[in-house]
Amino acid sequence: MTAFTLGPALLFCPADRPDRYAKAAAVADGVVLDLEDAVRPEAKPAARDAVVAADLDPARTVVRVNPAGTPDLDKDLRALASSPFRTLMLAKTASAADVRALDGYDVVALVETAAGVLHAAEIAAETSVVALLWGADDLVASLGGTSSRHPDGTYRDVARHARSVVLVAAGAHGKAVVDAVHMDIEDHAGLSAEAADAAAVGCVATACIHPGQVDVVRAAYRPTDGQVAWAQALLAQAERERGVFRFEGRMVDGPVLRQAADVLRRATR
């Protein structure tokens, strides 16, 4: 698995709001300074200057840059060359070639278009890619649609398909996956359910757009006391067994042991 360890709650912060940088970094497990959608075109030059001047831990900071092939990405990279930040999130990553434009950086590939989903495995295979984040709303917009979710808040099938494609592509190449943002800021129950599901299928983090979402995500990723006790007891018995064995009425083999180890790993984050 990749060495990408930020999470479980990554918080986006508009790059043109340097007054919020420190608070975002203090609240979340990692901060994403956003030079793309969160910043109006006329504010981007000042936002780049603010990012370069930011006094943040580079190990806990990701900078979202503009899409490949745009003049704004060229300007982003020229500015960031003099900064200490070396992990970039590439908006609207559509191909492996897009990633190569960020040579010398660790890349979180934001897969949020039809082309990106189609080429997810090729993107994940790039050595500079440390994680993939999928996005639903830009994806649906790229298809000409108007909504990624049903009226009850659940994802439509095309969004669920994209998430699964990104998960499998990343897993095949040992890369981490960050789950998409939950746009309804007040819907903590929906966010909690999505984050718990993300943890269950192997995501390392969920992206947040508001500080109030951070603790919800952390709680959802944190195993319960019962899960921790189960994992500890199972692994303790495994040390006394040879090969496949039975534990609490369930057959235990390699995949179950890895699941138990992951429960303990998440419990100590």
Identify residue 6 by its one-letter amino acid code: L
**138 annotated ligand binder:** yes
DSSP string, 218-240: HHHHSPPHHHHHHHHHHHHHHTT
Does the annotation list 152 as a binding residue? Answer: no
241 labelled binding-site residue: no
Long-range Cβ contact pairs of 240-248 (< 8 A, separation 24 or more): none
The CA distance from 45 to 32, in Å, is 18
Q: Could you give the CA distance from residue 233 to residue 144 in angstroms, rounded to a whole number?
A: 51
What torsion do the CA atoms of 52, 55, 61, 63 make, to the nearest 10 degrees?
-20
Burial code (b: 16+ CB inside 10 Å, e: under 16) for 137-165 equals bbbbbbeeeeebbeeeeebeebbeebbeb
Find how far residue 21's CA is from the centre of its chain: 19
DSSP string of 159-195, one letter each residue: HHHHHHHHHHHHHHTT-EEEEPP---TT-HHHHHHHH
**Binding residue ranges for substrate:** 64, 112
Show binding-site residues.
64, 112, 138
Binding-site residue ranges for Mg(2+): 112, 138
